Structure formats: C-alpha cells, structure tokens
Amino acid sequence: GELASDLFGDDLKKLFPIIDDYTQSDSACLDNAIEFLVMAGRSLPHAMMMLIPEPWVGNPQMDFDRRGFYEYHAAVMEPWDGPAAVCFTDGKLVGATLDRNGLRPCRYQITKDDVVVLASEAGVLPADPKTIRMKGRLQPGRMFVVDTVQGRILDDEEIKADITKRKPYRQWLTQYRVSLDELPEPLNVPQPDHPTLRQRQQAFGYTVEELKMVLIPMAITGEEPISSMGTDTPLAVLSERPQLLFKYFKQLFAQVTNPPIDPIREHLVMSLVTNIGPKPNVIAEIPEACRRIKLQQPILSNVDLQKIRMIGDPHFKSKTLSLLFKVAEGPEGMATALDQLCQQASRAIKNGEKFLILSDRGINAEWVPIPSLLGVSAVHHHLVREETRTEVGLILETGEPRDVHHFACLIGYGVGAINPYLVFESLVDMEREGYFPESVDAATAESKFIKAVNKGLLKIFSKMGISTVQSYCGAQIFEAIGLNTKLIDRFFTGTASRIEGMGLSEVGEETLRRHALAYRPVPMRQLDFGGEIHYRIQGEHHNWNPETIYKLQHASRANDAKAYADFSALVNKEDQRRSNLRGLFEFNWAAEPIPLEDVEPASEIVKRFTTGAMSFGAISKEAHETLAIAMNRIGAKSNTGEGGEDPERFIPLPNGDSRNSYIKQVASGRFGVTAHYLVNARELQIKMAQGAKPGEGGQLPGHKVDEFIAKLRYSTPGVQLISPPPHHDIYSIEDLKQLIFDLKNSNPEAAISVKLVAEVGVGTVAAGVAKAHADKVLISGDSGGTGASPLSSIKYAGVPWELGLAETHQTLVLNDLRGRIRVETDGQLKTGRDVVIATLLGAEEFGFSTAPLIVEGCIMMRKCHLNTCPVGVATQDGELRKQFTGKPEHVVNFFMFVAEEIRSLMAKLGFRTMREMIGRVDKLKVQKAVDHWKAKGLDLSPLLVKPDVGPEVATSCVQKQDHGLKGILDNQLVKWCQPAIERGEPVSLDLPIRNVNRTTGTVLSSHIARRYGPDGLPPDTIRIRFTGSAGQSFGAFLSKGITLILEGESNDYLGKGLSGGKIIVVPPKGVTYSPEDTILIGNTSLYGATGGEGYFYGIAGERFAVRNSGARAVIDGTGDHGCEYMTGGVVVVLGKTGRNFAAGMSGGDAYVLDEDGQFPARCNMGMVELEPVVSSEDKQTLRGMIEAHFRYTQSVNARRILESWDMMLPKFVKVMPSDYKRVLQERKTALAKEHAQRGREAVSRG
C-alpha cells in the first residue's frame, strides 16, 4: 500500500506531500497528481483516463478491454469528480478531456490549413467559415489530443484503444480480484436474539418513532421517508436528551461553485460499486494491484459479512476488533478503549491482516458500545497518521446506524462497508409484530432497506457533486456543530467545527446514559417514543408546540398585542432555554435608552420583511394569495416559490388589493417561468438551494398537481413534479453571473437575488454572488420549512442561519463587497428578538415562512406532502381547502406586532433606525451555558467578530450594482424595433453578432411582454437575421412575435425560457463540412421553454430541450440527456441522440429518426414508452414540423426524409411518456362520456 519507486528510490519522500488540500486549489492538486503519475512512467493520456474516467459502470455498450482498464484502475485510484474541461500538455501532446457528466462546454474547430482552436466557447477567434474543415465538441468523459510530433489529431477511440490494450487488465482482474457475489455461502450466520432485542435497541437509541417513520417506509417501499415543514428541535449539543454522535455532523453540499448531480435522472454516471481492501502502490502497474474485494454496494447483509470472514486466502485475512468498553470504567473508559482499539489495529496490520472488522456485537449490562462513527474515524485517522491506512480495508459491524445520514457519515469518515446487524434484527422483529403488509417478509424488508439506503447515499453524494462511493469514502464532507477542537483534531481531523462544544468525556456520558436506560430494571421494557419528528409531550422539545401555536394564532386573529407579547415571551424564553444558537445571545443595552417615538416607525420596518418561497402547489391557492395580499398591503414582499403564478394575479383587485407576488422565484425546474411572469416581478430570486433540502430539487407529489397547477407549471395533471438538483445553466460562478445577467435583461427594473443555504464556506460563495452583480443574497438556515423533502435532508443538511449570516457579513465586509449587496436571512424567525439578532449579525431583510402559515391556520401536522392538511393551508383537495380560515388582516397583524417588538428593543439598544443596527455585533454578548451538561463548552465568539476595516468600508448596502446593460446590443434592437413595440408594425433587421453579445433579444422581449402580455405580437412581426457566433443565452425568454435567425453558430443556453418566439439557426453559407453531423448550438438549449418554435440545422450539445414544457423544435442530432425532465411541447430529432434521452420525461412528444436501430439503448425507459408513428395526427404533426424545418433551414436531412416519406416514416420512433399517455386517454374517455351524456339529454328532451 505504500508508494515505492525503483526510479526515485529513497528520494521519493522528498516529493511529499504530493498534494496539499489545505494550501492548494482543486486544480493545483489535480495538476500535481497528473505530473507525479506522468513522471513515474505513465503516459499523459493514461494518467488523465485514470484520474478522470468516463462513466463505465452504467455503460453496457463499452467494449470489454476499456471496461477492464477502468475496473483495474478503480482498484488503484478513486475518480476525481466534478465539472471540468481539463486541458493538458507535455510539450509533445496537447489535449483536453471532459468530466464524466459533461458539465462544462468545450468546442473545437479545425481549419483546412490545420489550425486547431479549442475553447469553452465557440467563436473565440475569427475565422472564415469556408476555411473550416471540421467542428466538434468534447463529449462527456471523452478526450481530444493533438500529437505535435506526428502532426495529427488523435480522437478518443484511437487514444483509448491503444492505452487499454497495452496491458492485459481484464485478465488481471479475473485472476486476482474477488467479487463478493462469487464467494461461497457461509455455514454459520449470526441469528436474531429476540429476548435481548429491546435492550440493545435502547442502548443504541432506537425509538418507536424511528421504527415507524424511518424503518417501515424504507423496508416497504425501498425509498427514504418523506416529511415536511422543516425541523424545529434543538441542535444535538443543545438537547437535554442524549443524542447519537451522527447528529452532531451536518452534510455539506454544492452550491454555485460546482453543481449537485442528478442521481435519479442521470443515474448512468453514478456508482455504488467499490473495491475494499489494501490499496496498491499507485506507481506500480502490476497484476496484484487489483487484489481487492469488489462490492456492488457498501451495505453488507449478515451473510455478506460472514462470506468475507470465511475467506481462506491469506491475502484476504480479516481480524475483528471490539468496539466495546466497560460500563464500570465510565466515560474515561471509552477514551482508554479507543486508545487500545487504535493500537490493536496497528498490531493487526503488522501481523499481516488485510481487513479490520470493527464490531460492537456483544453489548450487555457490563459492556457499552463506542459510538460507531467515533470508532471508525479514530482508527481511520490513527492509521493515516501512521501511514498505514492503505494497507488494510475497514469494515464495520454495528447495531447503531439506521438512517441514511448515519451510513453517509461512516463512509465519509473512512469505512469501506457496513453491516447494520441490529436493523436486520429489528426488521425480523417487526415482521413478527405485524408491522409489514403480507407481501413483505423479513428478507424482502432487508432487501428494500438496503435499496433505500443505497438510493439515499447516492443522493447525499450527488449533493456535493460526487458521482461514486469511492470518491466519497474518507472525504469527510461534513461540518461538526457542537464538538470541541480537541475532539475534532484527534478523531475527525480536518473537519470544520466553528463553535467548539463538548469533548470526548461528554460523548462517553451520552453513550452511558442510553446504556443505563436500556439496562435498568423495569416491569415492562418499551422503547421511548422519540418525538424528534412529531411533537410529543414527553418527547424532544419543539419550538413550534401546541402552546406557541395557540398563542400566535390567538394574538394575530384577535389583533391582541398582549397575547402577542405572551407568545413572544414564551418563544424567546424557549430560545434562551437553549433550543437554538440565538438563545445563547444576550443584548448589551444602551446606558441611555432613546424615546420610543424617535425610533423608525413599524410601517417602515415591515418593508424589510418577506415571506418565504412557498409555491402554489405546495400550499393552497387561498393560503398563497392571502400572503401576497397581506404583504402588498404593508409594502413588504411575498414570494411565488418555484411554481409560477397565475397571470390573473398580476391585475389588481377592485378593492385595490394586489395578489401579485413582489418576488418571483426562478428555480431549477423553471416551472411557469415565462417572459410575462418575469416582467411582472419587482425582484427575481434565483433559488440555488433550500434550507430544508440543499443540493436537491423541489418536489410536488402527483396528487397535488391538479389541472390548474399543471396549467401554470406547463405540466401533466396527476404526475409528480421533481425539479433537477442543479440549475442546468449554472455549473459555476460564471454561469450564475450569466443567469443574473439574463434575468436582469428579462426585467431591467427588477432586483436580482440569489438564495443560498448556510454552511461552512458560504461567505466565500456570497462574495462570488456579489461579484456576479446580484442585488441581494439570502442566507437560509437549516430549519426552514418545506412542502416535501427526504427526512434525512430536513434533519442533517445545512447549518443554522446564525452561523451562515455571520460568516457572510464578515466575508463581504472584509472584501469591501458589503456595500453593493443586500443581505437577507431566514429559517424559523418568529419574533422581534430574532430579527434584531439577525440585524446585529449583518442582515437587512428578513424572511418568514412557517410563522405566517401558522397565522393562517397551520397546526404543524407535517402532512403537507400527503395532501391531507386538515386546515386547508397545504393541500389542493377541494373539500379540505374549504377549511381554510386565514385572512390577510391576520398576517398583517402578526408582522406589525413583530415590528413593534423590534422598535421596543431598538429603543433599549439605542438605535433610531434599522440601518444603524446592521452588523453591530458589539451590542451582543454570549450567555455561557454553564448549567447545561453538553452545551457548556460552546463558544459563539466567532459569530461576534467585527471585521477590522476602515470607516470607508461600508457595512450595509449603500450602492446599486452595475449590471452592465448600458452597452448591450439589445438597446439598439429596442430602438430599431420601436414601430413594432409601439404600433405592432413589422420590422426586419440584418446584423452581425459575436459571442460577446450575450442574452440577445431578451430586453427586446421584455418590452413586448410588458406591453402585450403573454399573447405577444403576431408571428414574425419582428424578424432579425444575425450572422456570426452568438454568445450565451441567445434568444432567452424570447417573446411571441419575435423571430431570430442566426447564420453561424451559438453557444450554451440558446432559447432558455423561450416564451413563444421563434429561433432558427443554420450554418454559414458555403461551408464544406456536413452540417447534419456538426455541432451547431451549445449545451442546455431550450431549457425551461414554455412556448415557441426552434429549427436547428446541425447538432446540439448535452441536455437539449431539458425541462421543455411547450416549445416545438426540430434538430438534426443531440448530445446526452436530450429532452430530460420534459413536460410539454414537441421535439423532432432527425438523427442520432446521445445517451439517456427522455430521462424523467413526463409530458409532451418526441419523434426520433432511428435509422441504425440503436435508439432504444440510448433512451431512458424509466418513464416513457416507444411507439411507431401510426396515427394520422402524429403523422401530420411530424411531417408538418419537418416541412417547416426544411423551409427555414434547407436541411439536406429534412429534404431526404420528405422525398422518401413512405420509406422513412417507419424508421421514426415516437417517445411517449407513460403518465402523459394515461392522462390523454382519461381525458378522451371523459370527453366521450360527456358527449354521450349530452346526446342522451338531447334525446330525452325530444
């Protein structure tokens, strides 16, 4: 497992560390690793294939030699994941490779005199189109190399065929690697011990609630449990109850700097396959390097673990080490046991053991289990420090983990495989107790549980942009909340832990308290109910409980200031009883309070309030509109959420009220995002993440998608809607800057905000957001509500807003960026005290979500995802909606109460205005939790650091961002198109264009949408022909009546949000290459299009028509993931598609010309069916679109098809979403019944 080299000898150590995560960027680390591998003897393309492999696990079409190469190297090196177009050279070869997911654009062209230009955009250098011999793009996982010695281009196939055949990799795998599923069945497998089960469950902290709400859904459905309304229980370190160590760790996630990956729709790039055992010398390319055990996934059954234990080959010897310590020795005994465990691990390696199995079997009244996460990480880091970690594989046999987050923590801190034996015993017991339906026995439940964990693990990996379990293992992508530096530095080295907390002794004490509960004598042994998810009187504390809910509803409905004061006192007291971090703050009151009448009035303060982004769909029409009316009455801001908005709401009501939401959200699903929607906003919010489920897309269960909601979202009624985890036009900070620019073009009068979620490092991301010219950044806390989210995400992702807000404000001030961006925060804000603390920490705007819903009538049943809300707030059920009793006045009352409470606190603090108060951390002090057995070690002083800057550096927003709209091409277009804008007269223009002209046509569209609404102008009223290479977002949000014709090529995001306009792109005249085989438009074209037409004579990059929900388009070929998440519209492809076509497609139609018969293998059949084109309606649609394509583009392909229509028609395949087909059939049946009924009525009337 140690690095060794005949070439370098002892000098090898002089190179260490080869990479340094702490001082080097990701790119620098990758560069060092590649240089090291090349200097050690591998070719440069070989090293690139090894570090950035293409996705091979889910590619059955890959040839065996190439698969063998990747499998062999997977045993040597985990893949370097993430979005990257990497260029490389050794002075002889010059090349580039693209990440496995195709998340970066990379275009190239070759001229007839052999000049090669490769860049992230098309059109970077001027070139006569007639001199271009070839154009192309790098595809996911592919490589492009120029050999300057031979003077020729090496394509991907040639490079990889040569490298993969140099050594017999497949043969080495067959000879040396062991696959778990090929091992013989063991003779002895541990059996359930029913008499001791309850005690062991109690010792590991199991609760009735966990069994019923976590294990049962996983065991029956094979899915993670879904919940709603966020979390309102204390942080683990603030809880009075003993908590599992897992709960002190929060998952990190990707936002902006790199995208999360879609583990559901783009499953082909994900992998749970792993190799466990000693890692080989990475320099030596020898057969024995793959002598490891291959697992299809990291969760082991009892049988699987025994298989590994029983291997007789000395190269796979295993040793079991105990994770137990004696009760009698107290917390100190755990520290001693950990030391002994680490020494035993070292001795085992010296004795030639190849696998260490850490086991907590054997607990009883005398023996206590060490927390499995602590044991695993202790051994892992001990062996890393001893430089022997690569000589052994770590396996865990434990009764503790049962939630997906638990398994993610264990893998993240170094374990290769986990056998959760107590879960399996619990499932056997639950079958005996009748918890499962008849169709589910214990074996089925075990299989489904493992499946649910695996799916959950992929989701957690993908949140960070990681595709494989190998890359996640040992990556430690967590932040600790409430653990002290001494504990972290020894056992969780390198993990962020910003506010100190408890140490090893307290961890031991928590463990012993659970054990004592389990082994105390009781007449009848029962598990604690829990109360972590739902409120229970004897359970965990909830900030929203019957008393706080009642008091708030009574105060707001009766407009009773005293009742609100009672509510506020109760909440603030509960906070100070240490249910959240802000409860530990106290105010430094002014020596001389100022008169209350001198303080800024409540009517001004409420203008800083917003309601959270709750979509119409997640909540009812009544609840959504009530919030909008209330916020508009007081000059505050309501938010649409990501479900679009009914255009009727843009029109004021007769009494002067307005239902129009001030903030309109643009999320990854782009539901209802049209040019008309955008121009009716005063603020446009880009949702990068959500506090309750960062790194994941929103989801709306199918039973909440009625006809009206489907209409607003341009989708199919009754079909579940899931937004992609990433914005497919944001894979980097530069992409975010582009979307900010796009939205500013779509509505120059609106502010642009970006929603982030608090995590360590969010300040740096916020600085990037400020530099990208956003007007506001929102820092969401981890406890915000949600209509539907995986339970593990609600509980374990993100951190409290206090941490994220303080870091953001400090970072922005230190970088002199605070003066040009507003900062908002949200996440269970309830009272004026909460707002004042947020202001002192640096916020100037404040979001409320759960509290206004409770004012409207919510009673926290947490059934939002089930559509059974009994008070009509979070349901689309017509009968239940009748129970809604909320009124705008109630919401207004609440916010005015909060504002008045703020005023009273401001007077005591000595502030006349909110602006004076922003960032004044000197007015806060920390109340030490000396009487709390766990929290007494907390140190919140990092939150109260005041940046050391001069008076010239602003500490609140004092200037507007420059969005760079002054010099854009659209200003001229608007001027030249005035006859059309003002009077609807036709306008025709002919103009050159370059790739620096970004978002062309969007400001022009905003004028049309603002003046003419969603109907726009008659087709082709404005007709503009461009010549050249168009920049990103060409024709974004293009309004009806505008036609853009581009003779040349375009970059990424063409036609995003197309709103009725028409875009035609053709290659330049006189080109000698074949247009139908050549890249023409970039990645992610027609993203979120809601209407209009597109005709493209050439090939698109990846994700063509992703989330298309209304556009009709014809193209000659597409890259991977075409028509992904499509919910409407029609797409015709006259050539080959890439892989994973139609993944998640739930509506609309696609017609694909399948001349080679290979399309079924390239199509994701999860939600669609393939049919021949037989109905007259389909034939007419298809032919009509191809005729239009030929008319607009003169496509050779289109002409060939039309000239041989009868012969070519059978070669077309119709891609039909199954749910869409069902809904159309149901509508057809209902219509037929309606006609029949009318006929009968007519007959009866005579």
pLDDT band for position 904 (cuts 50, 70, 90): very high
Phi/psi at 473 (5° precision): -60, 120
1097 compared with 15, residue with greater pLDDT: 1097
Give which of 224, 821, 895, 263 is closest to 552, Cα–Cα.
895
pLDDT, tens only, 964-986: 999 999 999 999 999 999 999 99
Give which of 879, 816, 820 is closest to 844, Cα–Cα.
820
Write out the H or E segment, with its range, that includes residue 247.
none
pLDDT of residue 656: 95
pLDDT, tens only, 1192-1233: 999 999 999 999 999 999 999 999 999 888 888 887 888 888
Q: Looking at the predicted structure, is the pLDDT value of residue 46 above 60? A: yes
Q: How far apart are CA 220 and CA 211, in angstroms?
A: 12
Q: How far apart are CA 823 and CA 178, in angstroms?
A: 55
730 contacts: CB under 8 Å, gap ≥ 6? 256, 259, 686, 688, 736, 739
Q: Looking at the predicted structure, is the pLDDT value of residue 257 above 90? A: no
Residue 944 burial (C-beta neighbours within 10 Å; 0-12, 13-18, 19+): middle
pLDDT band for position 992 (cuts 50, 70, 90): very high
Instruction: Report how far apart, in Å, the C-alpha atoms of 494 and of each of 29, 380, 413 are.
Output: 17, 13, 11
**pTM of the predicted protein model:** 0.96
Q: Which of 15-29, 35-49, 294-308 has the lowest mean pLDDT?
A: 15-29
Mode of pairing for the β-strands spanning 132-137 and 116-119: unpaired
Q: Give bridge partners of residue 478 from the DSSP assignment.
A: 251
Q: Looking at the predicted structure, is the pLDDT value of residue 895 above 60? A: yes
Phi-psi region at 440: left, alpha or beta (left = phi > 0; alpha = psi -120 to 50): beta
Residue 103 burial (C-beta neighbours within 10 Å; 0-12, 13-18, 19+): buried
Q: Looking at the predicted structure, is the pLDDT value of residue 334 above 60? A: yes
Residue 201 contacts residue 527 (beta carbons within 8 Å): yes
Q: Which of 280-289, 901-910, 1077-1086 has the lowest mean pLDDT?
A: 280-289
Q: Looking at the predicted structure, is the pLDDT value of residue 1052 above 90? A: yes
3-state helix, strand, coil in the chain (%, to 5): 40, 20, 40
Average pLDDT over residues 1164-1191: 96
pLDDT of residue 497: 96
Following CA atoms 785, 787, 790, 795 in sequence, which dihedral angle do they give, to the nearest 10 degrees? 10
Residue type, 458: L
Q: How far apart are CA 109 and CA 86, in angstroms?
A: 17
Q: What letter would DSSP give residue 639?
A: B
pLDDT, tens only, 98-125: 988 888 899 999 999 999 999 999 999 9
- Sign of CA pseudo-dihedral 463, 469, 470, 472: positive
DSSP 447-497: HHHHHHHHHHHHHHHHHTT--BHHHHTT---EEESEE-HHHHHHHSTT-B-
Residue 177, both tokens: 């690697």
30 contacts: CB under 8 Å, gap ≥ 6? 51, 80, 84, 86
The distance in angstroms from the start CA to the end CA of the chain is 93
pLDDT band for position 1 (cuts 50, 70, 90): low
pLDDT, tens only, 54-112: 988 888 889 999 999 999 999 888 888 878 899 999 999 999 999 888 888 999 999 99
pLDDT band for position 1246 (cuts 50, 70, 90): low
Q: How far apart are CA 86 and CA 31, in angstroms?
A: 10
Q: Looking at the predicted structure, is the pLDDT value of residue 1083 above 90? A: yes
Give which of 137, 128, 133, 126 is closest to 995, Cα–Cα.
126
Classify 117 as helix, strand or coil. strand
Q: How far apart are CA 463 and CA 789, in angstroms?
A: 14
CB-CB neighbours of 612 under 10 Å: 27
Following CA atoms 379, 384, 389, 394 in sequence, which dihedral angle do they give, to the nearest 10 degrees? 30
Q: Which of 193-202, 222-231, 744-753, 973-982 has the lowest mean pLDDT?
A: 222-231
Q: In the CATH hierarchy, which fold is given to the domain comprising 9-181?
A: Glutamine Phosphoribosylpyrophosphate, subunit 1, domain 1 (3.60.20)
**In the block, residue with structure tokens 């960026």:** 817
1118 contacts: CB under 8 Å, gap ≥ 6? 1099, 1100, 1104, 1133, 1136, 1137, 1138, 1141
Give which of 1147, 163, 1066 is closest to 705, Cα–Cα.
1147
**In the block, residue with structure tokens 């609140």:** 956
Q: What angle do CA 180, 183, 185 make, to 5 degrees?
A: 115
Q: How far apart are CA 472 and CA 476, in angstroms?
A: 8
For helices 561-576 and 888-909, give the axis angle rounded to 10 degrees. 60
Classify 397 as helix, strand or coil. strand
Residue 188 contacts residue 513 (beta carbons within 8 Å): no
Average pLDDT over residues 318-344: 97
**In the block, residue with structure tokens 């002598």:** 291
pLDDT of residue 1223: 82
Task: Please give the mean pLDDT across all residues of the chain.
Answer: 94
Average pLDDT over residues 545-551: 94
Q: How far apart are CA 731 and CA 754, in angstroms?
A: 15
Domain spans of the chain?
9-181, 194-224+231-519, 546-944, 981-1228
pLDDT band for position 929 (cuts 50, 70, 90): low
Classify 56 as helix, strand or coil. coil
Q: How far apart are CA 572 and CA 565, in angstroms?
A: 10
pLDDT, tens only, 157-179: 999 999 999 999 999 999 999 99
Mode of pairing for the β-strands spanning 478-480 and 924-926: unpaired
pLDDT, tens only, 943-957: 999 999 999 999 999
pLDDT of residue 207: 95
What is the CATH architecture assignment of 194-224+231-519? Alpha-Beta Barrel (3.20)
| H-assigned helices in 464-591 | 469-472, 485-491, 504-519, 546-558, 561-576
Average pLDDT over residues 543-553: 94
Average pLDDT over residues 572-578: 77
pLDDT of residue 258: 85
793 contacts: CB under 8 Å, gap ≥ 6? 459, 692, 693, 694, 695, 696
**Counting every residue, how long is the chain?**
1246
546-944 and 981-1228 share one CATH topology? no
Q: How far apart are CA 640 and CA 651, in angstroms?
A: 15
- Sign of CA pseudo-dihedral 946, 952, 956, 961: negative
Which numeric CATH code is attached to 546-944? 3.20.20.70
Average pLDDT over residues 1180-1186: 98
pLDDT, tens only, 351-392: 999 999 999 999 999 999 999 999 999 999 999 999 999 999
Scored b (16 or more CB within 10 A) or e, 654-690 reads eeeebbbbbbbbbbbbbbbbbbbbbbbbebbbbbbbb
Mode of pairing for the β-strands spanning 367-369 and 324-326: antiparallel
What is the CATH architecture assignment of 981-1228? 3 Solenoid (2.160)
Cα–chain-centroid distance for residue 13? 40
Average pLDDT over residues 184-200: 93
